[in-house]
Every structure is written in structure tokens, then in C-alpha cells.
Structure 1
Amino acid sequence: MFADVEESEITKLLDDKDSVSTKRTIKRSVNLFRTFLMEKRGSGEFEGLSKEELNENLRLFYVSIRTKAGTSLKVSSLNNIKYGLFKYLKDTCKIDVDGPEFNESKQVYKAALTDMKKKGFGSVDHKPPISTEDLKKLYDSESIVFNVNTPCGLQNKVWFDLMFYLCRRGRENLRKMTKKTFGIDTDATGREFVYQAIDEADKNHGSNATPDETIGEARMYAQPQSGDMCPVITFKKYLSKLHKKLEALWQRPLEAFSEENETWYCRSPVGKNTLACLMSEISKKANLSRLYTNHSIRATVITAMDDAGIEARHIMRASGHKNESSIRSYACRLNENKKREMSDCLSSALGTVTCNKYLATESRSDQENSLANLIEEDPLANLTKTDLDEIFNNSTFEEISSSNYVTCEKQEISVLRAQSSNIIPQLPGIQICPNLNNCTVNFNFYNQK
């Protein structure tokens, strides 16, 4: 059987085959080229030009284009303009831009890129991953922005959780999501998880996508120890509070509500522009260290998985990337902690920097908790609170060169590299053995029988 198809439907199919970002790039590139031709030739029409005329105009276009401020473009910007213009010429004008007729303009294009790099316009502005400190602010128990007892806070948290755990792209298809986009299931161990139940087309998965390619196989598992902040629990709560007569997943929060109300959201969807800038708004409300974009969440996820040693091929299945080179653009970046560590390492090599007294910035209780965490890692250690009190009451911590200390990120404290007697005094019945390995200091406590 066959359906009756009108010409307008075919036109719409052809128009929808490219993503929104691709259409935007094509439109901008074509408009720039038309503006250039208007200034140089008096006419912006180029569809009827011969290949030789196009080649000559492209040569001049590449070297003359500037920003509104009159400065040179960045390499990435010129690449986007070329891509949009060439796609338009190929799809609309049926002109093969890779033919020998365009060799001269292609050589000028390469020379223009080289000149831009020499002038310092070759850098790429990567979206920064969210710092560990800012993530803690978001999920702090006193955080207003993720308060699950309010419509806005609940929606913010569920949106961030889905973007984070499922490693979604920044702004694509957010407005198209419905209550059925994500499903809830249980694995063989009986643990609940949220997954993406409905496939979708995005930048990496269009008409050329193969059947085994996926937009992402990541799961958002329940975290029972998190209580009301468990991502699966908050997702269920959010679904239960949505307006029953609207299928859109992201609905406008009610201004007036109560905890007992069955519905917390209006029969009106959140606008696509609001969703596209949601992480920036969250950054402002949570008073984060900088304004992050939606894509920063994806950068955070991929960086975290790479730092954890997860293989690139597995990250690709979760994120939906089609090749490892895309993953490397995230994996090759240094996080803030690593940058600080490298700078401190170089400073200590100069021998001119000294560190503060051991744990000087932490309170006594923080010191005890940090040491207790270290001790608990050794099953043979049986230090009591009395032992801890004796350690901190009787110990003296001297300032030494910063070349003799390293940072222990797990406990978030500075550990002085010195003789064990300088850090922790010998206690009766306890033998302290410091093992120094690759700038990591481990203290093993053994009971003597």
C-alpha cells in the first residue's frame, strides 16, 4: 500500500534532513558571500556564475573576510564558513567544489589558515568541564537551585541528571522531548535505572547513521544512599508532578504551589531558547565560579569517564560519538586540579616556594576526620579517638620546602613528605610505616601483638 504524498511534504523532508546548526551555518555562510559579492561586483547573485568565476571570487573572499570589529577570523570560524558555503554550492547549485577548477582558491584557503595560526587565531574555544567544587555546590543539601521540593529546583535537577548521566548533547532535541522519551527499567541485579527509550536524530546520527550506531547507551542508575536526591527517585517525582494533559517533558513551573498539589507545572512547554541556555541560568542562580553552557555538562561527563580509565570505545557507546578523535578533544584537556598540581610541581623545582604548616587551613575536627579516613582504609588499624587526640595534642608540624609535599586529592589535604616521626609520633604498640611511591604517601598502621 502507498500513501498519497504532496510535493510540499517532499520539500519539508528535504529541508529537515539537515540539523538546525547546519542550516544556521549554511545561511550565515551564504549571506556573507552575497554581501562580499555586492561590495565587489555590485550583485550578490552567484548561482549562475561559472566555476572559473566562482573560483576567482572565492580566492578574494577567503583573504578579505573580517569580523565586525575589523579583526581576523579564527580558524574554526573560517572552516565553518567554508563548510556552509560549499554545502550550499553542492546541494543547491550542483557544483563539485572538489574539482580541479577550484584548486587555486583551495590553495589560497590553506594559506589563509596558516596566516591566521601565525597571528594567534588558531585556538579553539572548548566548552570547559564543570569543576569539582561547582558540582558540589549544585548538589549541596542546602542548594536552592536543586531543591527537589520546589517545581523549579526539581526540574533543574532532573534536567541536569539526564544530561549528565546520559551524556547528552548541549541543546539538541530538548524541546522535542516527551514523557515517553525516557523509560525506567530494572536490571538483572534488581537495580532500577533510567534510559533513553526513544531514538532521535542529532548531529552525529542522521541519514548516514548505520543500524548499529546509537545516540547513547548510558544509564542513570538509582543511588539509594542519596535518599530524596536519588536521580531515579527525583525523575519519578518529576513525572508525577507534570501536567497530565501536556505530553512535553519540560513544562513551565507553576508560580504558586504546595507540596500536596498533584500538579506543579503549567499546560505550557518551556521554550527552546530557555532550554538551550538552562545551564547558564543554573550557573547564575547557584553562584558558580563561571557561567557554564549546556555542552559543559557533556564535557564534564566525558572527561570524568576518561580520567576514570574507561576505554574510549565504551565512552563512545555512552555518548554517541562516532569516532575516537572526537573523544580525544575532551580527553586531552587538563582539569583545574591537574593544572594546579603541575604548576606547584614546577614551583617546587625552583626551590623558592615554601608550604604552610601541615593542614593549617583545616579545623581540628577536619584534621581528625581526614586522618580517620586514611586509617580506615587499612583493615589492620584500630586507632581509637583517644589515640587520635594524643596524636594531634602531642604532634608538632614544621614548615618545610614545598618540594617535600604532595597533594592527596582523595582526602583533599596536603600530606607532608617527611619522616614519620615528624608527622605522627610513635604510639605504644603501633608501628608506622610510610610508603612513598610516585609522589603518593600511604601510612600503614599495624598492631603489634
Structure 2
Amino acid sequence: MFAEVSEDDITDLLELKDSKSTKRCITHSLKSFRGFLGEDNEFETFDKPKLNEKLRLFFASLRKTDGNHLKKSTLTNYRYGLTKYLKEHCSIDITKDAQFAGSKDVFKAVVVNLKKKGYASTEHKPPISKEDLQKLYNTNSIAINTTTPYGLQKKVWFDIMFYLCRRGQENLRSMTKNTFAIKTDSSGREYVHQQIDEYDKNHRDEASPDDTVGEARMYAREGDPLCPVLSFKLYLEKLHPALNDFWQRTKDSFDITDTTWYCKAPMGKNSLSVMMPEISEKAKLSRRYTNHSIRATSITAMDESGIEARHIMRASGHRSEASIRSYSKRLSENKQREMSDSLNSILQTNQSDNINHELQSENAKGDHNITVTTPEAQPLLGLSAAEIEALFSYETTLEEIPVTPMDITVAPQNVCVSDNQNKENSPHPAVSSNVQLSMNNVQPWWNTHTMNLCPNITNSVVNFNIYK
């Protein structure tokens, strides 16, 4: 049995084989090239040498409207659009035909020049940091509060994007209540999976029959209030029964006991495209993440967990392991922080060594009349805390009286020693002598603004001039 088809039907089929983004790329490339050619812009009639020469000049002269250089990715898009159009309408492949070697060489030279000038970098969407994930995904998060229509929808959306490795906003608008299904595996665990294949970026006319959009599963977490399957079931229950769209607009007002929390109206593409940015702001995350950041987070997490790239491909829908490795090549925020801290520790160690060296040099000069010697077996006189406090409570001297070595290793934390005492206005007789202080693990209570010692001196003997 065969259906009747017209030329218009075939034309429509051919039109549908390319994505909207591909069509935009071709249209924009043709418009720019015809604009460059001026009046003689029917390049489909050019012979190959003339077309090659025009392409050479076109690639070399392409600029933004403000005169600045294009990014490498933009230049590549121009070439892709022209290549695809010429293949389909003129049976010419400007990337492989030897007669277009000149324009090919110029294109490569321009790309190299853009790299040298810093126009070749690609801005990757960053994965969500662990700190932000913890802030977002907890029972106290208002952004995914399942007792409200807004929070429930945002949580289900995030769960599907995260567990099923969905692209930023691809096919979100076309999802229906039948796109996903709940099943039970051989062990008895429930899970959500995507049951309808899609026509997406990696699965088009050239895809093999074995290719699928993704084999990832979103398993239930029994006893967890944030169980993704539990949230998914609740969301299905609260959707408007008369609308088959999966993403529906939330009601302006609701009661938690209402059977329906959503309107008989689907969410628009623009609203779906900013779901993660809205969640970022609602949860007060450290930055405004994009929808694609969730996919980057999932793939990065699986890669860091040791899951093989070939298995991740089956979940994410990637068609090559190289695409998976592009995620694993990027440094996570935690790893970047760890690397910087390791370098900081080296600088701080050097700084500490320099400070200790300067202190030792200052002490060696005798500016404070302090000397540090290695410990020796010396008779030490044990004093109580009160006696030590009395000893250091006097500030002036009239005559020198010898004092024998004293053990002050049990000195209280509030005792301070100063070598810069006022010796003129005291009624007490003078005492001046070298007092040996055993500094076994003495803590930084030595430090005052008048006498600075390294706070970590241990197991040493220090000589002071004491005035009483």
C-alpha cells in the first residue's frame, strides 16, 4: 500500500530534515556572502575558480558590524552554512574539492590569526558546584519546595534534566505526559525513564537504528522526602487533566488540597529556557547557572565517579567518547581551589621562614638585651603563679641585686614580660640581673608590643634583664 504524495509534500519533507538552528545558520551565511558580493551576487552561476577567489576574500574580510574580529566559532558557522547550501544546490563541496584549496588555506590562516588574537576561546557552561548543589537540593530549599506548584515543577524539571542528562532546552516545549513513564526493574526498584525517542541534535537522519536519545534512568530513593520518583508522581497528579503538555503554567493562586495546581495552558519556550537561571536566583546560588549547566554537572559527576565514557554516552545521547572527554578535561571549581591553595601554602611557608630569619637577626643584634641559648641542665627555682606575678609587677630600679635562675614554665596566661620598663618613679630598691627562663612549650603570652618573640619557641632558655 502506498500513499499519494505531491511535489509539495516532498518539499515539505526536505524542509523538515534540517533543524531550525541549521536553517538560521544557512540563511545568515547566504545573506552575508551576497552582501559581500554586491550587485554580482548570484554566486550559484559562478565557475569554480571565480567562486574560490570570492570565498578567499570573503573569509579574510569578515568582521562584526562594529569592525571587530569574529570569534572562531562564528567564522566556522559562516563556512558551514555556505558549504551545506552549495552541496545541496550546486553539488559543490568547498571543503574537499581541490579547486577550492585557495579559499580553504585562507580560512585556516584566518582561524590561526584569530587564535593568536584571543578570539578562538569557547565559553563552556560550568557545572554546578558541590556547594551550590547542597544549597539547592535540600528539604529547606524554597526553590524546590514540593508543597507549592512552583517548587514542585522546578524540582521535577531539575530531576529530569539531571538524572536523564537532558540538553538545555531541547524539545522541552514538545514534551507531553507520555514522554516519560514509571517502571519497576528486576530488583523491585521504581524508576522514571524516557519512553519516546526525539529528533534532536545528535539523532537525525544519519543516526543508526541502535542510537537512542538516552538510556538513563531516574531511580526512586525510598524514605527520602526528596525522592525524584515521588515528586514525579505528585506532579503528574497535579497537572491539568484536559491538557497533554507536560510543562504547564502554574495557577496564580492555589490551595494545597486542590486536585489541580496548573492551568490549561502550556509554558512557553522563553519560560522553559530560563528555568535554571530562575532556580539559581530563587535558591541564592553563587552564580546564575544556565539550563545546560545541569547536563554538564551530571556528566562530570559520572566521569569523576569512574563510569566509563561508553556508558555515559548511552545515558546522555552523545555519539562519540570525545564529546564526553571534553567535560572531563575541564577543571572543577573544587580542583581549581585545591590547586591554588597548594601554591598558596608554598608562598606562606617561604614568608614564615623569612619572618623567623628576621626575628633571629634582630635578636642577635641585642636590641632588646635578649639572648636565646640551647637548653642545658641548670638548677631552676620553682615559683608559684602569685610569686611570678609579684616579680614582674615592678617597673623601676635603684640598685642591682643578683637573682638566681627561676622556673617560670608554669606561668599563667595573663603574665606579660617587657624589656622596656620605666625605672625612674619606683619606691622599691633596684634589682637588675639576668634571669634564665625555661621555655618548654611556652605559648604566645610572651608577646607584647614592647617585646616580640617568635611565638613558637620551645625547649629553650631565654635571658632577661629584670628590674624590681
TM-score by length of 1: 0.75
1:170 Cα offset (Å): 1.4
* Aligned with 1:62 (options 59, 63, 66): 59
Which of these two proteins has the greater Rg computed from alpha carbons? 2
Tell me whether 1:241 sits opposite 2:238 in the alignment: yes
Find the aligned partners of 1:180 and 1:235 in 2 and give their Cα distance: 13
1:142 Cα offset (Å): 2.4
1:308 Cα offset (Å): 0.8
Find the aligned partners of 1:143 and 1:207 in 2 and give their Cα distance: 43
* Aligned with 1:126 (options 112, 124, 127): 124
Find the aligned partners of 1:188 and 1:224 in 2 and give their Cα distance: 16
What letter corresponds to residue 335 of structure 1 in structure 2? S
Q: Deviations over 1:152-195 (max 9, x none)?
A: 11111111110100001111111111100001001111110000
- CA RMSD in angstroms comes to 1.7
Work out whether residues 347 and 353 of structure 1, in 8 Å CA contact, stay in contact via their aligned partners in 2: no
What letter corresponds to residue 327 of structure 2 in structure 1? Y
Would the alpha carbon gap of residues 19 and 352 (structure 1) be closer, same or farther in structure 2, given more than 3 Å must change? farther
- Which position in structure 1 is the counterpart of 2:13? 13
Aligned pairs (5 A) from 1:93-108:
93-97=90-94, 98-108=96-106
Report how many aligned residue pairs link the two structures. 351
Would the alpha carbon gap of residues 331 and 261 (structure 1) be closer, same or farther in structure 2, given more than 3 Å must change? same
Find the aligned partners of 2:66 and 2:304 in 1 and give their Cα distance: 40
1:353 Cα offset (Å): 7.4
Range moving further from structure 2, 163-172 or 66-75:
66-75
Q: Gaps (5+ residues) in structure 2?
A: 354-440, 442-468
Find the aligned partners of 1:50 and 1:282 in 2 and give their Cα distance: 55
Q: Secondary structure at the match of 2:230?
A: helix
Find the aligned partners of 1:285 and 1:196 in 2 and give their Cα distance: 28
* Aligned with 1:196 (options 188, 194, 197): 194
Q: Deviations over 1:270-329 (max 9, x none)?
A: 112221222222222222222211111111111111111111111111111111111111
Aligned pairs (5 A) from 1:257-296:
257-296=254-293
Tell me whether 1:217 sits opposite 2:215 in the alignment: yes
- Which position in structure 1 is the counterpart of 2:72? 75
Work out whether residues 67 and 73 of structure 1, in 8 Å CA contact, stay in contact via their aligned partners in 2: yes
Would the alpha carbon gap of residues 31 and 288 (structure 1) be closer, same or farther in structure 2, given more than 3 Å must change? farther
Would the alpha carbon gap of residues 253 and 53 (structure 1) be closer, same or farther in structure 2, given more than 3 Å must change? same
Find the aligned partners of 1:243 and 1:140 in 2 and give their Cα distance: 27
- Which position in structure 1 is the counterpart of 2:3? 3
- Which position in structure 1 is the counterpart of 2:351? 352
1:43 Cα offset (Å): 4.4
Find the aligned partners of 2:352 and 2:67 in 1 and give their Cα distance: 44
Q: Secondary structure at the match of 1:111?
A: helix
- Which position in structure 2 is the counterpart of 1:396? none
1:261 Cα offset (Å): 1.0
- Which position in structure 2 is the counterpart of 1:427? none
TM-score by length of 2: 0.72
Q: Gaps (5+ residues) in structure 1?
A: 355-421, 423-449
What letter corresponds to residue 25 of structure 1 in structure 2? C
Tell me whether 1:329 sits opposite 2:326 in the alignment: yes
Q: Secondary structure at the match of 2:43?
A: coil
Would the alpha carbon gap of residues 273 and 11 (structure 1) be closer, same or farther in structure 2, given more than 3 Å must change? farther
Find the aligned partners of 1:334 and 1:133 in 2 and give their Cα distance: 16
Range moving further from structure 2, 278-287 or 79-88:
278-287
Q: Secondary structure at the match of 1:105?
A: helix
1:34 Cα offset (Å): 2.2
Find the aligned partners of 1:283 and 1:44 in 2 and give their Cα distance: 48
1:24 Cα offset (Å): 2.3
Q: Secondary structure at the match of 1:226?
A: coil
Find the aligned partners of 1:209 and 1:181 in 2 and give their Cα distance: 20
Aligned pairs (5 A) from 1:429-444:
none
